[in-house]
Amino acid sequence: MAFIPSCVLGFSSHGLPTSSFNESFISLFGNDHVIFLDDERKSVQISLDQSSGSGFASQLTYLYSYFSASIKLPGNYTAGVVVSYYTSNADEYTTNHDEIDFEFLGNTGGKPWTLQTNFYGNGSTGRGREERYTLWFDPTQDFHSYSILWTSTWIVYYVDDVPVRVVQKIDAMGGDFPSKAMTLFATIWDGSNWATGGGQNKVDYKYAPFIAKYSSFVLYGCSANPAREESAAEMCGNAADLNSFNGLTTESKGKMEKFRIEHLIYSYCDDRSRYPTPLPECNLRGKSS
């Protein structure tokens, strides 16, 4: 009788190869503020000062992927500063773009950064799905990994190994679930008018330059060539296992629930002044995720 090992089916991000900045990205704006941190060009810093913010973008677009980077945020007084790591296709689809975001919102001296997650699908910009969290570590002291798993039916946001948010596509969301190829971006910019205290605490350039460092890039997924019409399955190549992801393990769910009890400070699902009737996926919380 054959021995059948008990195994967990589905996608695992462990052991995925990292890629250098050179292989996978190009600088996007504030080019003289995009600086390599090592000879192999594996790590990069971007900065904001009075003259400019800066950012970089992936060379390819991706339809369903696992993206990860280790990021170290600027310390000291960072009110009004926004550091981002996100996917978008707003350049290509001006009225019906998709987007999946990590946004880090700076703070006044000595106060912790806030992490925000959000997503849009097919131009659902009138229906923001923001959540905000504190972190269980100081993100200005060390690099920590921030990852997005995006399949045709799931989005999972991870901080280090902890899933902090899970979105499962349901029919009632209509086109609001991101489903077109996107570029990966990282930026630092002046968000004085909203990022901190609802815009009360502006960027103070006395503390510039504000420097965010990125390393350990993983872009694992279905890279799309905008010039060719291929199905997502064809584009996935070796990353076909992504779509075998079918929800978190019990252990991961436990980690997420603990995180959310301790660190969730805002969810659009609980904001009745914005959404008197919660958006459809809010009913799923605590059940499917």
**Exactly one of 23, 40, 92, 99 is catalytic; which is it?**
99
> Would you say 101 or 176 has its CB closer to ligand NAG?
176
Query: Can you tell me which of 27, 59, 96, 192 binds ligand NAG, judged by CB under 6 A?
Result: 96
Residue sitting closest to ligand NAG (CB)? 175
Residue 99 bears catalytic tag: yes
**Exactly one of 23, 40, 92, 103 is catalytic; which is it?**
103
Q: How many CB atoms lie within 10 A of CB 265?
A: 11
> Would you say 29 or 93 has its CB closer to ligand NAG?
93
Q: Does 22 bind ligand NAG (CB under 6 A)?
A: yes
Q: Tokens in use for 189?
A: 């910019």
Kind and range of the H or E run holding 32: none
Considering only residues 164 to 203 of the shown chain, the ones binding ligand NAG according to CB under 6 A are 174-175
- Nearest alpha carbon to residue 129 among 106, 162, 155, 158: 155
Least Å distance between CB 136 and ligand NAG? 20
Residue 92 bears catalytic tag: no
Query: Can you tell me which of 38, 41, 172, 271 binds ligand NAG, judged by CB under 6 A?
Result: 41
Please, how many CA atoms are within 13 Å of residue 1, restricted to the half-sphere of its CB? 2
Backbone φ and ψ for 24, nearest 5 degrees, come out as -120, -15
Binding-site size for ligand NAG (CB under 6 A) equals 10
> Would you say 75 or 197 has its CB closer to ligand NAG?
75
Q: Does 237 bind ligand NAG (CB under 6 A)?
A: no
> Would you say 186 or 239 has its CB closer to ligand NAG?
186
Beta-carbon contacts of 87 under 8 Å, excluding residues fewer than 6 positions away, are 62, 67, 98, 99, 100, 101, 148, 150, 178, 182, 183, 184, 185
Least Å distance between CB 112 and ligand NAG? 15
Least Å distance between CB 177 and ligand NAG? 9
Least Å distance between CB 158 and ligand NAG? 27
Least Å distance between CB 283 and ligand NAG? 20
> Contact 23/156 with Cβ under 8 angstroms?
no
> Got the DSSP string for 38-101?
STT---EEEEEBTTB-EEEEESSEEEEEEEEEEEE---S--TTEEEEEEEE-TTT-SSS--EEE
Q: Are strands 35-36 and 44-48 parallel, antiparallel or unpaired?
A: antiparallel
> Would you say 174 or 199 has its CB closer to ligand NAG?
174
> Would you say 26 or 265 has its CB closer to ligand NAG?
26
Beta-carbon contacts of 113 under 8 Å, excluding residues fewer than 6 positions away, are 73, 78, 104, 105, 106, 107, 135, 139, 140
Q: Does 274 bind ligand NAG (CB under 6 A)?
A: no
Alpha helices in the chain (DSSP H): 21-24, 232-236, 250-263
Active site amino acids: 99, 103
Binding residues for ligand NAG, rule: CB under 6 A, are 22, 40-41, 75-76, 96, 122, 174-175, 207
